[in-house]
Amino acid sequence: MMLLVSAALAAPTIGITVVWQAQLDSQMDEQLQLEVEKLRRFARASTDSTTGQPFRDGASLLTQFMTVHLPRREETFFSIVDGKADRRSPAPVPHYFDRDPAVVEKLASLRGTTVGWLDSPVGKVRYGVVPVRVAGDPKDVRLVVLEFRDRQLSEERRVAKMLIATAVVALVCAGLASWLVAGRILAPIRLVRQTAARIGESDLTQRLDVQGDDDVAALAHTFNHMLDRLERAFTTQRRFLDEVGHELRTPITVVRGHLELMEDGGFDEQTGTRTLLVDELDRMSRIVDDLMLLAKAERPDFLTVGETNLTDLIVDVVAKARALGNRHWRVAAVSEATVLVDGQRLTQGLIQLAANAVRHTLDGDLIEMGSAVQEGRVLLWVRDTGLGVGPVDRDRIFGRFVQAGRVTSPAQAGTGIGLGLAIVREIAEAHGGTAWVEDAETGGARFVLDLPAFYPWQRGHHAPDPDSGGRSGNRLLRGKRPAQQWLRHRRGR
């Protein structure tokens, strides 16, 4: 930046100085030519003032010429007769060249009309030597015209110095401003580096303090979002490992204990133990399958989005759920809308809710399913007439390995492993929605999947961006995969 500003300030200053000097050199040559023309006109038109007759020698001609024609400022005349300085103009000059024998000798030796440069204590001097010849005069007479070029440039140089001084001040100011601006621009980047250096697996809570809305602020926002994703990933991983270790420890302990006791028991006891072990292994298998499903929910290929009719979805799920238990199954109000969702995953989630309802109801109790589209949202629900869910458990039961206290008989206690509702919530969140439970109007509980409504005719159009307040985002719904990406974007993943 400093080099750029220096070049921008130096170029006009140097350019103006060079142009001024070139113009002045050209003007001095023109002035020398003008003085020669004046001398010629004077010689043709004038006579000797003392005799009234034409000039009889060149010396008297030049003396009278210098008396009549005074030089301009920073200019002087003097004459040379037979190699020696004779007369000079009466005006004061910065330097008297006619007193310098070397200069006089040099100028006297020149042939014809000549123009050149002289060096002096006052700088460069432009000279012009004009031979003067009068008929019948044998003397070598010359007129010397001197132009003090550097003295004439003094004003221009003073202006140039002012420009240079101004440029230096401007350069210093530009340097300070550039330093401050560069510091402010690089400060967030430096903060990103320092924060990244402090972040480790054990501490992912560090975040950048974002100010402004420029590109650097956008970089800081992106960095913070990346840290959010990393923190969620590490938290999920640690929680997953803790939950798996906790849940698998119990059946493993049971299996180990009974295997150690099998040798001491009879045939009947071994048969019972074998049955118990098989049951524990089945439970472990279910836990592993559910945990693998929950882990897959974090992957981008968890959903396969397609066109799904809500009425067909509910009717098919009710038909499949009848095998879960002897309940009064019913299809409630349904919507005829066709939306873009993963029908298989929603079927899986609704079956989980149906199984949950069966565990918390008795034979003949009512379980109904329905669907609706309201204000751009798709609502899918399963309602039962069981004991309902207490306010304390409504959010907690959607966590992993959490079970509510509502059961209808001791036989049903402990039949679940606490992953069903967690799977339901993961399916809902994968679609950009959520899952929740409320009290049913006729008693019992009503579990609801709340999803954003996105229709097939919106394929190829801009999907709403959740971070832009409803404005169009930059993801297009063309086919299944882009729709899935948009839905995962709604989850903030």
pLDDT tens, residue by residue, 135-167: 888 888 888 888 888 777 777 777 777 878 888
Please give the pLDDT value at position 451. 93
Please give the pLDDT value at position 377. 92
Q: Over the range 74-92, which residues count as b (16 or more CB within 10 Å of their CB) and which as e?
A: bbbbbbbbeeebbbbbeee
Range of weakest confidence among 67-76, 326-335, 408-417, 463-472: 463-472
| DSSP run (H or E) holding 450 | strand 445-452
CA angle 114, 118, 122 (to 5 degrees): 145
CB atoms within 10 A of CB 467: 12
User: Which residue has better confidence, 441 or 352?
Assistant: 352
Which residue, among 439, 440, 477, has the nearest Cα to 456 in the 3D structure? Answer: 477
Highest mean pLDDT, choosing among 175-184, 242-251, 416-425: 175-184
Residue-wise pLDDT for 438-454, tens only, equals: 888 777 899 999 999 88
372 has which bridge partners? 379
At 255, which amino acid appears?
Answer: V
Please give the pLDDT value at position 298. 65
Please give the pLDDT value at position 237. 73
> How far is it, in rounded angstroms, from Cα 289 to Cα 11?
76
Per-residue pLDDT for 473 more than 50? no
Structure-block tokens of residue 299: 């992957």
> How far is it, in rounded angstroms, from Cα 28 to Cα 35?
10
- The CA–CA distances, whole Å, from 446 to 251, 359, 419, 442, 480 equal 32, 14, 18, 10, 31
> How far is it, in rounded angstroms, from Cα 307 to Cα 457?
10
Please give the pLDDT value at position 338. 92
Please give the pLDDT value at position 480. 37
Residue 479: which pLDDT band, with cuts at 50, 70 and 90? very low
378 has which bridge partners? 373, 451
User: Which residue has better confidence, 343 or 457?
Assistant: 343
Mean pLDDT of 176-205: 76
Residue 346: which pLDDT band, with cuts at 50, 70 and 90? very high
Per-residue pLDDT for 23 more than 70? yes
> How far is it, in rounded angstroms, from Cα 75 to Cα 70?
9
Q: Over the range 311-331, which residues count as b (16 or more CB within 10 Å of their CB) and which as e?
A: eebbeebbeebeebbebebee
Residue 470: which pLDDT band, with cuts at 50, 70 and 90? very low
Residue-wise pLDDT for 43-66, tens only, equals: 888 887 777 788 888 888 888 888
Mean pLDDT of 94-117: 88
Range of weakest confidence among 101-110, 262-271, 290-299: 262-271
> How far is it, in rounded angstroms, from Cα 286 to Cα 417?
9
Please give the pLDDT value at position 297. 64
- The CA–CA distances, whole Å, from 417 to 100, 455, 470 equal 118, 36, 39
> Is there a contact between 456 and 305 (Cβ–Cβ < 8 Å)?
no
> How far is it, in rounded angstroms, from Cα 206 to Cα 192?
10
pTM of the model: 0.46
Structure-block tokens of residue 416: 């679940």
Please give the pLDDT value at position 409. 46
Per-residue pLDDT for 359 more than 50? yes
> How far is it, in rounded angstroms, from Cα 151 to Cα 122?
7
CB atoms within 10 A of CB 105: 12
> Is there a contact between 201 and 28 (Cβ–Cβ < 8 Å)?
no
Which residue, among 175, 183, 180, 182, has the nearest Cα to 2 in the 3D structure? Answer: 175
- The CA–CA distances, whole Å, from 477 to 264, 346, 367 equal 65, 20, 36
Mean pLDDT of 272-281: 70
| DSSP state letter for 396 | G
User: Which residue has better confidence, 47 or 469?
Assistant: 47
User: Which pairing describes strands 114-120 and 141-148: parallel, antiparallel, or unpaired?
Assistant: unpaired
Which residue, among 428, 437, 429, 363, has the nearest Cα to 396 in the 3D structure? Answer: 437
Mean pLDDT of 203-223: 76
